[in-house]
A = this chain, B = another copy of it.
Amino acid sequence: MTATAPGRQATPWTLARRAERMNPSIIREILKVTERPGILSLAGGLPSPDSFPVEAMREASERVLKDAGREALQYAASEGYAPLREWVAAHVQAQGLRVDASQVLITTGSQQGLDLCGKVLIDAGSRVLVETPTYLGALQAFAPYEPEIAAVPSDDEGPLPEALRDCAAGARFFYLLPNFQNPSGRSMSAARRVALAAEAARLGLPLLEDNPYGDLWFDAPPPPALASQHPEGAIYLGSFSKVLAPGLRLGYVVAPKALYPKLLQAKQAADLHTPVFNQRVVHEVIKDGFLDTHVPRIRTRYAAQRDAMRAALERHMPEGCRWNTPTGGMFFWVELPRGFDAMALLPMAVDAGVAFVPGAAFYATEPQLNTLRLSFVTLTPEQIALAVETLAGVVRAAQKEAA
């Protein structure tokens, strides 16, 4: 890549080889097209802003700046704000993890957790295992470290333990999102978790467990974390983005003690520390049990939206379409009849006034073109009904055209 300024010699910027692996987020590009006014968008992965505790944030910001303004605005520890690390340790202990606060690293969103794990664990050509499909943001975080990604086959309960034997050799880790996965909405069964963790332990395969949606269950809490069954061989990632607000960029990594120092050094090099103002404000909001009443309200809201989408899918979608009903989280995953290309369908849907994300972007290898992701947390139940009806009409029209 070269660029010339008038009257000067061109200065060649030589890019690192890893830069070839970096690409604009396909989803963000799609969102630019689809989030124009008047479109009913099922595309975004954004939590409902109605759920943001604006007033609690305002009060907490005021208290933090009044009581500890200087500390909240000064440089701080790379590990994170100690009381917040204690809170996180207690929170994940409730999910079965036997950890203490010294294993908690506060990150600038859990996206940074993915980046730091990639930085510390992936060499060019290293094998990394992922689910089929998997979270696009994780693929993007890992890509600059030039892994060879291998997709593990799965069924409705999650990745198949018996498939690990063939692909675990030399793998640096297996990236998993067991609860209400983005994009598939799938949750891993308790039995599958036990079997997967046992097989990973047997094979010496480290796990990277990502849990941004685990608190957003509708009927019953998810089974214990995989990391609880493979403690020295698992890193666990969490986030405040879905239970409080994503604009604060607050996530965390819980790491085995053997690995923590390297992740901390990578964190220090990456941004010194996560904004301590944000950490203190969030701790102020949550320290006295705020989430115990706040998160159930989000669950109730999202469950009603999930119900609206399920009803609309059942009512309107043509024969040959499949979906599984998520028991938490934010997404339905729809398979159109074989032969459909969801990417080709998108412009027609946008013309008709509805948007979604084609599923192909979520496959590390061999994309399944007839899949699409529908978010149910952005629109009202009434809008969801209309959006799904419209989408079903577009699918039917395309079916007729192809027939």
Counting chain B CB atoms within 10 Å of each CB, the highest count among A12, A74, A121 belongs to A74
CA distance A273 to B25 in the complex (A): 13
Return the chain B residue nearest A269 by Cβ. Answer: B140
Number of interface residues of A (CB under 8 A): 98
Q: Does A9 contact B (CB under 8 A)?
A: yes
Neighbouring B residues of A172 by C-beta, 8 Å: 14, 16
**CB contact between A108 and one of B70, B137, B271 (< 8 Å): that residue:** B271
Task: Find out whether the CB atom of A3 lies under 8 angstroms from the CB atom of B248.
Answer: no
Q: Does A370 contact B (CB under 8 A)?
A: no
Query: What 1/0 flags go to A110-128 for Cβ under 8 Å of B?
Result: 0110010001111100100
CA distance A5 to B234 in the complex (A): 11
Task: Find out whether the CB atom of B247 lies under 8 angstroms from the CB atom of A205.
Answer: no
Q: Does A36 contact B (CB under 8 A)?
A: no
Neighbouring B residues of A144 by C-beta, 8 Å: 119, 266, 269
CA distance A16 to B206 in the complex (A): 14
CA distance A71 to B257 in the complex (A): 38
Task: Find out whether the CB atom of B74 lies under 8 angstroms from the CB atom of A259.
Answer: no
Neighbouring B residues of A161 by C-beta, 8 Å: none
Q: Does A4 contact B (CB under 8 A)?
A: yes
Task: Find out whether the CB atom of A119 lies under 8 angstroms from the CB atom of B18.
Answer: yes
**CB contact between A13 and one of B4, B5, B23, B121 (< 8 Å): that residue:** B121
**CB contact between A61 and one of B13, B61, B265 (< 8 Å): that residue:** B61
Task: Find out whether the CB atom of B259 lies under 8 angstroms from the CB atom of A1.
Answer: yes
Counting chain B CB atoms within 10 Å of each CB, the highest count among A2, A71, A115, A119 belongs to A119
Instruction: State whether A123 and B16 are in contact (beta carbons under 8 Å apart), knowing that A201-B9, A232-B3, A232-B8 are contacts in the complex.
Output: yes
Q: Does A258 contact B (CB under 8 A)?
A: yes
Neighbouring B residues of A2 by C-beta, 8 Å: 258
**CB contact between A245 and one of B18, B66, B73, B141 (< 8 Å): that residue:** B73
Q: Does A398 contact B (CB under 8 A)?
A: no
Give the B-binding residues of A (Cβ under 8 A): 1-5, 8-19, 22-25, 28, 46-47, 49, 52, 54, 57-58, 61-62, 65-66, 69-76, 78, 107-109, 111-112, 115, 119-123, 126, 137, 140-141, 143-145, 172, 200-202, 204-206, 230-233, 241, 244-249, 256-259, 261-262, 264-266, 268-278
Q: A73-B248, A109-B272, A249-B274 are in contact. List 20 more A-B contacts (CB 8 A).
A: A8-B201, A13-B233, A16-B123, A16-B172, A18-B119, A22-B120, A22-B262, A23-B265, A24-B264, A24-B265, A46-B74, A52-B70, A57-B73, A62-B62, A71-B247, A73-B247, A75-B246, A108-B108, A109-B271, A141-B269
- By Cβ-Cβ distance, the 5 closest A-B pairs, closest first, are A11-B233, A54-B69, A73-B245, A49-B70, A3-B258
